[in-house]
Amino acid sequence: MTSIIKEHEQRVSRGGNSPLVYLPKEYFSPGEKINSRLETEHDGTIRMVITKKMFNFNCDRVREFVGKNFNVEYDKTVAGTRVLNAVQGNLGLNCTQSTRELEPTYVTVSRRFNEIKSAEDYRNLLGRVRQLSESFDAYIEPEGDLDSLNVYREPTRYGLKDKTEAIAALRETGKKLDFSVIVRFNNKKNDLDEINTVLKKLAP
């Protein structure tokens, strides 16, 4: 379905010896590639069609992409926003797309790590996150009871040197924290191949 975003009359400008038509800067940037086509009609009208692909995927493409390997738990549109949630074991994928505006689609991929049993396990997990962060918007999120989270987030307050020492101290007292590694994408900046790469890196 085609939607008209903007329609107005403008004059052809001059740039040196060439005619210029200015494009809306919110959709076009200097130096990027676009496709153009000139069409003529029998009444003598010339139409110039400029084509640019704004986005690399949407929630429909994401659902097709993960459909064979993930269990789609939720896929609904509420108040103009579509939300898709799919899981595969400890791996989760969330896709959010506005159905009323020309806005990016956002995808979040996450994996819960519930086997962090030592400071060394934690350091190894941080290494994986740092590696992902070199190419993607990746971060780590702790999960646990409030007391454990407080110790982890403010270790010096509890006489501990850093978060790694906090992990070890919590284990010694019988408490533990799980961690989720989260990577965020949007369909203007990223593509499905990049999402697939991260899914493979996070897979057990």
Residues 19 and 108 occupy one common structural domain: no
Measure the CA–CA gap between 75 and 59, rounded to whole angstroms: 9
Q: What is the pTM of this model?
A: 0.78
Residues 135 and 157 occupy one common structural domain: yes
Residues 77 and 170 occupy one common structural domain: yes
pLDDT at 38: 83
80 token code pair: 């103009």
| The one-letter amino acid at 51 | T
The pLDDT tens digits of the residues spanning 91-136 come to 999 999 998 777 899 999 999 998 788 888 899 999 999 999 999 9
2 domain residue, yes or no: no
Residues 70 and 26 occupy one common structural domain: no
Residues 113 and 155 occupy one common structural domain: yes
pLDDT at 60: 94
Number of structural domains, the chain?
Answer: 2
Residues 78 and 19 occupy one common structural domain: no
pLDDT at 5: 65
Domain hosting residue 108, numbered range: 59-202
Report residues of the chain scoring pLDDT below 70.
1-6
7 domain residue, yes or no: no
